[in-house]
Amino acid sequence: MVILLLSATAAGAGPYTEAGINGFLGADRRHADPLNDEDAQINPIFRGWATDFRDYLPADDNWSGLGVWNDPKKALGPVTGLNFDIVSLGDLDEGELGNDLPPGEITLVFGDPQDANDPRHIRDVQGYDFVIFENGFTSSFQTGGGSIEGEMLSELAYVEVSSDGVNFARFPAVSLTAGPVGPYGTIDVTDVYNLAGKHPNAYGVCTGTPFDLKKISGTPAVVEGLVNLNNISFVRLVDIPGSGDFTDRAVEHIDPTSGAEWDYYDGNHAIYDAWVTTGSGGLDIEAVGVLKSQEYSADINLDGMVDGFDFVLFASSWQKCFADDGWISRCNLAEDAHNSPRAEPLVIDFCDFAVLAKQWFKQEKWRTEQELMD
């Protein structure tokens, strides 16, 4: 399952190297091609999927152009890995942006919003909490149209969550892509953080972008009690036309170039991705999955066991700090313990190794349960 940690780092120039989550595993419990591997099964780390939708509002003039991609029910249920098992949000062209038309959006529902105890709700568990599968793919070609081999043809979107369907909290994103990439252009996804559409899910590679509710615990809607992170019934996806007219919220994040001081970005950035897109334009949603709790942070590759695979990844990131080549964010195991005077924040050090040693050979409950079922 080491591919999980490689999928976002192949092009690897930016600081945001968090890996995608495998949608399918094979008999060896590593990434499987759902289109060609007869042993492929949905990753048992998932405990649920979107059950309904509301407010499907594709970009205004693109509704008829979406054709077979305007059925929001295709975003419900388990991931399939099929490129066209999607619903598209449409894209805004230059004229529509000039008329201040809103970008496309959809709100997905998880369980019964009226039942606070519905187990299908998303909750702030240990580790990542939910995963969004788009249908982007890694380019194999260098072209004059903006495609760079090894980078992603991505269509990005803001991600928001809600407990009541009225009050939403948005994940603050970062996008460091320097300028427009064109309608068939690619981006280095290691320059992108907290946006849907970052990981490949096409042509036999099925990974999704993970989100951790803990990252929005300080947003006003959460602090004021309007959004309960332990009772999320709604996920809203808002397309980002990649023209540069929409911005990230980088000022809420640490600037990786700020050295040992770790200051925040001093400004927000314009967001660029493939634009203008047509047909299945804008974000294409394949599925949104809810994750089981990950009790052991040292299970770096998320295969359910803290073992040699995790040690290899940890060793490759040893003594690296945020933004260094080889930095793996999930190796920062003592993140919550960095109030210790011995711990150096955003550096993979002995405090992180101590967590790995303590959890060595531990196995997640969800993997044990799956082995008993097998």
Instruction: Give mean pLDDT, residues 348-370.
Output: 95
What are residue 88's phi and psi, to 5 degrees? -105, 150
- pLDDT band for position 5 (cuts 50, 70, 90): very low
d(CA 180, CA 183): 9
Q: Is 368 helix (H, G, I), strand (E, B) or coil?
A: helix
Q: Is the per-residue pLDDT at 86 higher than 50?
A: yes
Per DSSP bridges, beta strands 243-247 and 130-133 are unpaired
Nearest-10 Cα torsion for 26, 29, 33, 34 = 60
- pLDDT band for position 374 (cuts 50, 70, 90): confident
Q: Is the per-residue pLDDT at 7 higher than 50?
A: no
Question: Which residues are within 8 A (CB) of 106 and not within 5 positions of it... i.e. 6 or more apart?
Answer: 53, 55, 56, 57, 72, 75, 87, 89, 236, 237, 285
Check if the beta carbon of residue 239 is closer than 8 Å to that of residue 270: no
Question: Quick one: pLDDT at residue 15?
Answer: 93
119-133 pLDDT tens trace: 999 999 999 999 999
The angle, 0 to 180 degrees and rounded to 10, between the axes of the packed helices 350-358 and 308-316 is: 180
d(CA 223, CA 217): 7
Residue environment code for 1-39, b if the CB has 16+ CB neighbours within 10 A, otherwise e: beebbebbbebbebbbbbbbbbbbbbeebbbbebbeeee
CA nearest to 24, candidates 298, 293, 352, 286: 286
247-301 pLDDT tens trace: 999 999 999 998 878 899 999 999 999 999 888 889 999 999 999 999 999 999 9
Instruction: Give mean pLDDT, residues 190-203.
Output: 97
Q: Is the per-residue pLDDT at 80 higher than 90?
A: yes
Q: Is the per-residue pLDDT at 340 higher than 60?
A: no
| Residue percentage of the chain with pLDDT more than 90 | 80
- Annotate 316-362 with DSSP letters as a single string: HTTT-BTTSTT--GGG-TTGGGTTSTTPPTTB--HHHHHHHHHTTT-
d(CA 129, CA 289): 9
Residue with tokens 């300028």: 179
